[in-house]
Amino acid sequence: MIIKPLGPALNCAGRVLDLSRPRVMGILNVTPDSFSDGGVLYSGANLALDKVLHRVEQMVSEGADIIDIGGESTRPGAAAVSSQEEQDRVLPVIERLARDFDVVLSVDTSNPQLMLAAAASGVGFINDVRALARPGAIEAVAATGLPACLMHMQGEPSSMQQAPAYADVVADVMAFLTQRIEACTKLGVARRNLVIDPGFGFGKSAQHNLQLLNRLDQLQSLHCPILVGLSRKSLIGQVLKRPVSERLAGSLALAAIAAMRGAVIFRVHDVRETADAVRLCTSVFKEQVE
């Protein structure tokens, strides 16, 4: 089934992100231990700011609409970092990028203190893999007035892949997101500022991920823009038996399917290739070259 992915617009701290066409969110991990690109922006134990700036420049030139900056690895089995360490990793990068680039910055965090500090430093979007469940997170987002992504996860990264189980993964994820949307609107987050994400790979077996992707269009009934993160994920490795470095074609195929099922924001490592793939999807829906 193909459903038009036409969406509203998000006001990201004054930069308007029009969702009538798909948008690409480029991943910037300022962690020494992320799942597919851990440590590439480091020189030994220290973050190399010149590498960060070069990487962001490259993603922006390749068509990234949003840069998602994360300081806590959420790969399966990752250890938690302290709130202070997370802020020390992320805030200087946000401050510098906000000065140097004309692009929406997103902070990938579950930490309300960091949400507030990042908003004060110029981010325009909050991406929380814990769907604002930490105490004070909803209030923090409400105070910033920024759009936020609510992602579904079963369990915590340290143990989420041990035995994921659902009655019906699509129904369960939808019920969870519905409940989070209600909790957010009750505490003052505007509904138009909420984006939803089924959380591919977060407490899900390969079959759960396949069911969620094939039935992603059902999430459109929640009337929030849909964000997906499928880039290089283990689902691709499980089906194709490819290592992380050889998952580009698989990532693009899944992005195209997600676009056909109504996703509008794509969180990816490979910006240029994904932008091309989803632009072609849009051309097909619209039956128009532009």
3-state secondary structure 249-279: HHHHHHHHHHHHCCEEEEEECCHHHHHHHHH
Q: Which of 7, 65, 74, 97 binds ligand 8Y7 (CB under 6 A)?
A: 74
**DSSP result, 106-146:** EEE---HHHHHHHHHTT--EEEETTTT-STTHHHHHHHHT-
Q: Which of 90, 137, 138, 151 binds ligand 8Y7 (CB under 6 A)?
A: 151
Is 10 one of the binding residues for ligand 8Y7 (CB under 6 A)? Answer: no
Is 71 one of the binding residues for ligand 8Y7 (CB under 6 A)? Answer: no
Q: Least distance in Å: CB of 209 to ligand 8Y7?
A: 10
62, two tokens: 């390749």
Is 41 one of the binding residues for ligand 8Y7 (CB under 6 A)? Answer: no
Rounded CA gap, 228 and 129, in Å?
12
Is 197 one of the binding residues for ligand 8Y7 (CB under 6 A)? Answer: yes
Residues with catalytic function: 233, 267
Q: Which of 129, 235, 254, 260 binds ligand 8Y7 (CB under 6 A)?
A: 129
Q: Give the count of beta carbons closer than 10 Å to the beta carbon of residue 153.
A: 23
Closer residue to ligand 8Y7 in complex, CB, 141/227: 227
Is 199 one of the binding residues for ligand 8Y7 (CB under 6 A)? Answer: yes
Closer residue to ligand 8Y7 in complex, CB, 127/161: 127
Number of residues near ligand 8Y7 (by CB under 6 A): 17
Q: Which of 115, 177, 227, 277 binds ligand 8Y7 (CB under 6 A)?
A: 227
Q: Least distance in Å: CB of 56 to ligand 8Y7?
A: 17
Instruction: Name the closest residue to ligand 8Y7 (Cβ).
Output: 229
Question: Which residues make up the interface to ligand 8Y7 (CB under 6 A)?
Answer: 27, 35, 70, 74-75, 108, 127, 129, 149, 151, 197, 199-200, 227, 229, 233, 267
